[in-house]
């Protein structure tokens, strides 16, 4: 009879056991699947006499629930046993995670910013995709200046009828200075770090992108002596208290007079070595007094105000500090190279 079959299955289910997940799954298929024992009883249930259907139906439901509960219990017991067998010590410290370090260019940039911040300079920033107006025109570049040529500049879009509307990847962070001057009135004292782009072949000594830090100070009665003292203080903070500087005449469209600044070689102490090409001096930056035309183009009265500006390559300073002889190392993300700067963080 069907009731006898149910009682037999109830006894089997109450004694079910399994030692792994595969055996538990086999039990589930045997008793609870569409082709399992309990579903087969449902097929026989159609032939049960009407006066017994209620009793048989209740017992089948009890069997199904018991099988479901028993198999779930076996699964939970197995998971608990597996967790305990792993012998996990929850009080143990986590495995050490190797932390990254600051990039050498970031280390040097932050040091430069810190030095000038202590002199009263504040940070200023601007877009990397910039218009010709701020990169060249307001910086007193002539319309036919070679820097506007395709050989030097990456153009995003060009307007042959009006070069001031050209969109380019900025070739220097002087564009930030232009934006500051046209939106602020003196006194202005800013430091402008950022990435710049120039259409150059990539070699050990040159790259198509690099990083600059430029400074600008505009106020009444600013002199070249002020510029020299600021740069001397910077050089001694960055390269050591015995560092000497010299300024050589140069030319930049946006400054007049202009100069290149050298520092005494900190390797040989100025006596001459292979690093400084036996001159005793190493060039680090360009500087000068802001050209009155630049002030006027940016809306500042050049008869009332004067100022100085300077700019340096972060890669250049990093090369000097860490003696890196290949610029490409700074952008190739070779972890062997970057790990050398862990102590500098």
- Please give, one letter per residue, the 3-state secondary structure of the chain: CHHHHHHHHHHHHHCCCCCCHHHHHHHHHHHHCCCCHHHHHHHHHHHCCHHHHHHHHHHHHHHHHHHHHHHHHHHHHHHHHHHHHCCCCCCCCCCCCCCCCCCHHHHHHHHHHHHHHCCCCEECCCCCEEEHHHHCHHHCCCCCCHHHCCCCCCEEECCCCCHHHCEEECCCCHHHHHHHHHHCCCCEEEEEEEEEECCCCCCCCCCCEEEEEEEEEEECCCCHHHHHHHHHHHHHHHHCCCCCEEEEEEEECCEEEEEEEEEECCCCCCCCCCCCCCCCEEEEEEEEEECHHHHHHCCCCCCCCEEEEEEEEHHHHHHHHHCCCCHHHHCCCCHHHHHHHHHHC
180-188 mean pLDDT: 93
Q: What is the radius of gyration, based on Cα positions, of the chain?
A: 39
309-334 mean pLDDT: 88
CB 181 within 8 A of CB 219: no
Confidence (pLDDT) at 53: 75
Distances in whole angstroms, Cα of residue 88 to Cα of each of 81, 91, 93, 96: 12, 9, 11, 17
Confidence (pLDDT) at 17: 85
Distances in whole angstroms, Cα of residue 306 to Cα of each of 246, 285, 295, 303: 23, 21, 8, 8
How many residues in the chain? 345
Confidence (pLDDT) at 24: 84
Residue of higher predicted confidence among 310 and 35 = 310
Q: Give the helix/strand (H/E) hosting 260.
A: strand 255-264
CB 2 within 8 A of CB 41: yes
Question: Using one digit for the tens of pLDDT, what is the confidence trace for 44-83?
Answer: 767 777 777 788 778 878 888 888 888 888 888 888 777 6
pLDDT tier at 304 (50, 70, 90 boundaries)?
very high
Confidence (pLDDT) at 144: 73
Confidence (pLDDT) at 343: 66
pLDDT tier at 145 (50, 70, 90 boundaries)?
confident
Please state the φ and ψ torsions of residue 258, each to the nearest 5 degrees.
-120, 155
Question: Using one digit for the tens of pLDDT, what is the confidence trace for 23-49?
Answer: 888 888 888 887 888 777 777 767 777
Confidence (pLDDT) at 148: 67
Evaluate if residue 344 carries a pLDDT over 70. Answer: no
Angle between helices 53-85 and 21-32 (to 10 degrees): 170
Q: Which of 201, 214, 199, 213 is nearest to 328 (CA)?
A: 201
Q: How many other CB atoms sit within 10 Å of the CB of residue 294?
A: 24
194-208 mean pLDDT: 87
Residue owning tokens 């009135």: 185
Confidence (pLDDT) at 9: 81
Confidence (pLDDT) at 285: 94
Question: Using one digit for the tens of pLDDT, what is the confidence trace for 93-129?
Answer: 777 777 778 899 999 999 999 999 999 999 999 999 9
213-220 mean pLDDT: 96
Q: Are strands 122-123 and 188-197 parallel, antiparallel or unpaired?
A: parallel
């Amino acid at each position: 009879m069907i009731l006898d079959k149910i009682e037999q299955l109830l006894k089997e289910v109450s004694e079910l056991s399994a030692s792994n997940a595969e055996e538990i799954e086999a039990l589930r298929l045997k008793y609870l699947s569409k082709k399992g024992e309990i579903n087969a009883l449902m097929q026989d249930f159609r032939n049960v006499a009407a006066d017994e259907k209620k009793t048989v139906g209740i017992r089948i439901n009890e069997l199904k629930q018991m099988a479901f509960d028993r198999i779930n219990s076996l699964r939970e017991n197995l998971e608990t046993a597996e967790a305990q067998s792993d012998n996990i010590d929850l009080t143990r410290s986590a495995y050490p995670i190797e932390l990254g370090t600051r990039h050498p260019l970031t280390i040097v940039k932050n040091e430069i910013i810190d030095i000038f911040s202590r002199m009263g300079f504040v940070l200023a920033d601007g877009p990397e995709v910039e218009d010709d107006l701020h990169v060249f025109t307001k910086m007193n570049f002539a319309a036919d200046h070679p820097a506007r040529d395709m050989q030097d500049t990456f153009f995003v879009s060009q307007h042959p009828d009006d070069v001031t509307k050209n969109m380019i990847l900025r070739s220097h962070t002087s564009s930030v200075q232009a934006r500051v001057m046209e939106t602020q009135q003196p006194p202005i004292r800013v430091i402008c770090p950022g990435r710049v782009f120039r259409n150059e072949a990539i070699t050990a000594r040159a790259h198509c992108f690099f990083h600059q830090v430029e400074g600008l100070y505009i106020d009444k009665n600013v002199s070249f002596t002020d510029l020299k003292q600021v740069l001397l203080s910077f050089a001694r903070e960055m390269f050591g208290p015995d560092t000497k500087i010299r300024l050589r005449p140069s030319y930049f469209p946006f400054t007049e007079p202009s100069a290149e600044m050298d520092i005494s070689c900190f390797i040989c102490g100025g006596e001459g070595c292979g690093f400084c090409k036996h001159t005793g001096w190493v060039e680090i930056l360009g500087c000068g007094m802001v050209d009155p035309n630049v002030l006027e183009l940016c809306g500042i009265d050049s008869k009332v105000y004067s100022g100085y500006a300077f700019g340096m390559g972060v890669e250049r300073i990093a090369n000097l500090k860490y003696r890196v002889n290949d610029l490409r190392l700074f952008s190739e993300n070779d972890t062997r190279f970057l790990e050398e700067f862990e102590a500098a963080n």
